[in-house]
Amino acid sequence: MARSKTVKNDLAVVIYARVSTEEQGKSHLGLDAQLEACKRMAEYEGLEVVGIYEESISGKVDPMERPVFTTAINDAINSGARLLIAKLDRFSRDVYHISSFLNGYMVKNCPRLIVAETPNASEFELNLRAALAQEERRLISERTKAALAVKRSQGASLGKVGRAAATSNKREATQDAFQLMLELHKQGYSYQTIADKLNQQGYTTSRGGQWDKSVVFRRIKNYQKEQLIG
> Residue 103 belongs to a domain with what CATH number?
3.40.50.1390
Quick one: 169 and 84 in the same domain? no
Domain that residue 78 falls in: 12-121
The whole-number pLDDT of residue 3 equals 46
Q: For the stretch 114-138, what's the b/e string if a residue is b when 16 or more beta carbons lie within 10 angstroms of its beta carbon?
A: bbbeeeebeeeebbebbeebbeeee
Identify which has the larger pLDDT, 143 or 75: 75
Quick one: 92 and 40 in the same domain? yes
The whole-number pLDDT of residue 66 equals 94
Cα(16)–Cα(84) distance, integer angstroms? 6
Cα(176)–Cα(24) distance, integer angstroms? 9
Indicate the SS3 state at residue 127.
helix
Rounded mean pLDDT, 191-195: 90
Domain contains 163? yes
Domain contains 136? yes
The whole-number pLDDT of residue 6 equals 46
Burial of 44 (0-12, 13-18, 19+ CB in 10 A): exposed
Q: Look at residues 87, 121, 155 and tell me which one is the last residue of a structural domain.
A: 121
Domain contains 141? yes
The whole-number pLDDT of residue 4 equals 45
Quick one: 99 and 178 in the same domain? no
Cα(72)–Cα(17) distance, integer angstroms? 10
How far from chain centre, in Å, is Cα 171?
Answer: 12
Query: What is the domain count for the chain?
Result: 2
Quick one: 76 and 147 in the same domain? no
Domain contains 87? yes
Identify which has the larger pLDDT, 131 or 221: 221
Quick one: 149 and 204 in the same domain? yes
Mean pLDDT of the chain: 81
pTM for this prediction? 0.59
Domain contains 38? yes
With a cut of 80, say whether residue 47 has pLDDT above it. Answer: yes
Q: Which helix (H) or strand (E) holds 89?
A: helix 88-91
